[in-house]
């Protein structure tokens, strides 16, 4: 029987499409930032997110600023667009 070789090439740092936890790990998001991002991906507005998570708007804005910095985006629209480019889906 002839010898056969199987070569698998992967990008372990690149998250699987739609995998929010891998995306969060890749961009070093905290659990709170990941939850907020998930709510944003579900098209919740900031007031709804703050109420759902029982945090004030100042805290939410702080988390959003951290998300923008970690993903090199400038606003919520840019953040969502960036996430969609990584094929993230709603959890």
Record: fold of 20-85: Arc Repressor Mutant, subunit A (1.10.10)
pLDDT for position 14: 56
CA 16 – CA 65 distance, rounded (Å): 25
- Rg for the chain (alpha carbons), in Å? 17
Express each pLDDT in 10-35 by its tens digit. 665 555 557 899 999 999 999 999 99
Express each pLDDT in 65-91 by its tens digit. 999 999 999 999 999 999 999 888 765
Sequence spans of domains, the chain: 20-85
Q: What is the mean pLDDT of residues 48-56?
A: 97
Could you tell me which of 11, 39, 24 has the C-alpha nearest to residue 71? 24
pLDDT for position 48: 97
Q: Which residues contact 80 (CB under 8 A, 6 or more apart)?
A: 40, 41
pTM score of the predicted model = 0.78
């Amino acid at each position: 029987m002839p010898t056969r070789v199987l070569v698998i090439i992967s990008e372990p740092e690149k998250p699987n499409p739609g995998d929010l936890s891998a995306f969060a790990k890749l961009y070093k998001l905290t659990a709170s930032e990941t939850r907020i991002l998930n709510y944003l991906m579900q098209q919740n507005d900031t007031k709804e997110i703050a109420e759902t998570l029982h945090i004030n708007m100042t805290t939410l804005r702080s988390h959003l600023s951290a998300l923008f910095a970690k993903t090199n985006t400038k606003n919520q629209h840019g953040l969502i667009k960036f996430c969609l480019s990584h094929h993230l889906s709603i959890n």
